[in-house]
Chains A and B, each alone.
Chain A
Amino acid sequence: MSQTAESAVDEVFAQIERWQHDRRRVALATVIDTWGSSPRPVGSHLAVADTGGFVGSVSGGCVEGAVVEAALQVIADGEPRELEFGVSDEQAWGVGLACGGRIAIYVERVE
């Protein structure tokens, strides 16, 4: 894994700390499995605040919206969730450009 990914980790952790300082509730999403070509490696993080704000990346943009939505539920009920996405199902950039992989994402509350 590149330092680019690892320095992104430090930014995510630092933002979580700032949110907690501001008494925001936070969830952490992590890529736990990838199949085929996927835009972000296993271990990539996205942190979500109860305001809906987020930092980091789990897919390069394809599924962040759905992950943020799930994260808000996790913040509300405290139950961790596993999400799975076929990246090619997301139609945002048209069939020809979709990368065709699948990713599994774990979402947990920071408490």
Chain B
Amino acid sequence: MKTATLRALASARAARQPVVVVTRLRDGAQSLVQAGHPQGDLELVEPVLAEVRERGLHDRSGRLQTDPGLFMRCYTPARRLILVGAVHIAQALAPAAVMAGFDVTIVDPRTAFATVERFPDTRLAHDWPDVALAKLAPDAQTAVVALSHDPKLDDPALIAALASPAFYVGALGSRRTHAARLERFAARGITGTERLRAPVGLDLGGRSAGEIAIAIIAEIIQTRYRPIERIPHPHHPTPGASA
């Protein structure tokens, strides 16, 4: 690998840009593919390039089927989880998410809730959720979950998340709470609420904070690997339309 390729790779990762490196195993010639565009001493032509682009979207490293002499390595940004509300469930959900490989940030302007004592080793943001979400800029590798039960905190976070490419947006709360939320959003002309997962999490039947945290992280993982529209989901028969 050329040092220049390595530097380009490192800066793409720092900028949270997905990149693919394709290597010709015979001689080590390489191409760095960023936003679908190959660069480097290895020239990529169809149908190889189409396979690289397609697999790059799904983070599937390995030898190419169109040319087994080539190996592609996908470098995908770390998935992030933004939790709104430094509440009891968050204390269970943050470590569960870390275990599942997520980079976790907890947003809560109430400094008495979002403390290092309650959330050791977790990144805390004390901005108001709309400001925090604007700074964090959720991308397609980001999940956002509102946990506070307080519309003053949850609503602005959810509105920002729904307008972003976040792959998962969920909100804690009962069906009744959610119906009221949808009415507020409809009155404000907020669109995209059909992809809001509420009540949040897989229906595992659990009640404790730990059990609910696992149900939430399980649903996030499921959404990451299977597009929502393909998941038969008794718990969410018509997502977002329960009002």
User: Which A residues lie at the B interface, using CB under 8 A?
Assistant: 1-4, 6-7, 9-10, 13-14, 16-17, 20, 28, 30, 32-33, 41-43, 80, 82, 106, 108-111
Contact = CB atoms under 8 A, between A and B. Distances in A.
Interface in B102-131: 102-103
Given A13-B9, A42-B62, A106 B101 contact: no
Interface stretch (B21-29, B82-90, B156-164, B180-188): B21-29
A55 to B, nearest CB: 14
A30 B73 contact: yes
A108 B103 CA distance: 31
Interface residues of B, number: 27
9 contacts: A1-B74, A17-B6, A32-B62, A33-B62, A41-B61, A106-B23, A108-B23, A108-B28, A110-B1
A74 to B, nearest CB: 10
B219 interface: no
A3 B78 contact: yes
B238 to A, nearest CB: 32
B2 A13 contact: no
Contacts of B236: none
A42 B78 CA distance: 17
Given A32-B25, A32-B71, A111-B2, A17 B63 contact: no
A20 B3 contact: yes
B78 A82 contact: no
Contact of A16 (B6, B13, B78): B6
A89 B103 CA distance: 37
Given A2-B101, A6-B78, A33-B62, A82 B25 contact: yes
Interface string B31-71: 00000000000000000000000000001011100000001
Nearest to B97: A3
A9 B23 CA distance: 17
B123 to A, nearest CB: 14
Contacts of A1: 59, 61, 74, 76
Contact of A7 (B23, B25, B78): B78
